[in-house]
Structure 1
Amino acid sequence: MDKELFDDLVKSMEEMVAIHNGEVQPPPERIHRHPMPAVKEIRETAGLKQEEFAQAVGVSPSLVQSWEQKRRIPSGSSLKILLMLEHNPALIKVLLAI
């Protein structure tokens, strides 16, 4: 690995730790947050059991349970699917048909 790249990685990690410890406040334009979807509400509105909802979204039932209990946070394509379902609950029918 290039020394310059390595030094940049170390600097980034040190900045991350300082932010986590509250020693540094990043500028607002560098903060990106996605709202946590109300997974249980989305599932109950669809009238589905956790197993059915998990199959529709393409994840395991235990992951759905973890989301609902806020032990894990959805990310990636799962987060996008959940946000889409929050905005348009009728999309669950499309996911169930796939």
Structure 2
Amino acid sequence: MSFFDELKASLEEAVEIKKGAKKPARVTRYEIADVKAIREQLNVSQGEMAKALGTSVDTIKSWESGRRNPTGLAAKVLAAIKANPAFFKELSAH
């Protein structure tokens, strides 16, 4: 099967899934971190959190207001902090 044929088959499958004629092989869902709740639980300022995560205060504000959501490594780090708040102290020490 050529690359074009594979791409065409993939797109046809996507159309079937969109129409409800076929179920997707897998569905990935991500929990969006409640950054403000995590920060308040840690009792730290936006500046302290930004410094520990290596980002800007504006990014923290955007996450807290819901204008943007943490993705990638930031989302994983926030999940780790939520599960283990002591991890934040380790991050902020570096």
TM-score by length of 2: 0.77
Partner residue, 2:41: 45
- 1:8 maps onto 2:4 in alignment: no
- What are the ranges of 5 or more consecutive residues in structure 2 without an aligned counterpart? none
Cα distance in structure 2, aligned partners of 1:41 and 1:86: 9
Which runs of 5 or more residues in structure 1 are unaligned? none
Are 1:70 and 2:66 counterparts?
Answer: yes
Aligned pair in 2 of structure 1 residues 8, 56: CA closer, same or farther (>3 Å)?
Answer: same
TM norm structure 1: 0.74
Please say if 1:87 is aligned against 2:83. yes
Offset, 1:94: 0.4
Counterparts of 1:9-48 in structure 2, within 5 Å, are 12=11, 15=14, 23-24=19-20, 26-27=23-24, 29-48=25-44
CA distance in structure 2 between the aligned counterparts of 1:54 and 1:69, rounded to whole angstroms: 15
How many pairs are equivalent?
A: 92
Shift of 1:55: 0.8
Measure the CA separation in 1 of the matches of 2:60 and 2:16.
33
Larger Rg: 2
Q: CA deviation at 1:33?
A: 1.0
What is the RMSD computed on CA atoms of the aligned residues?
A: 2.8
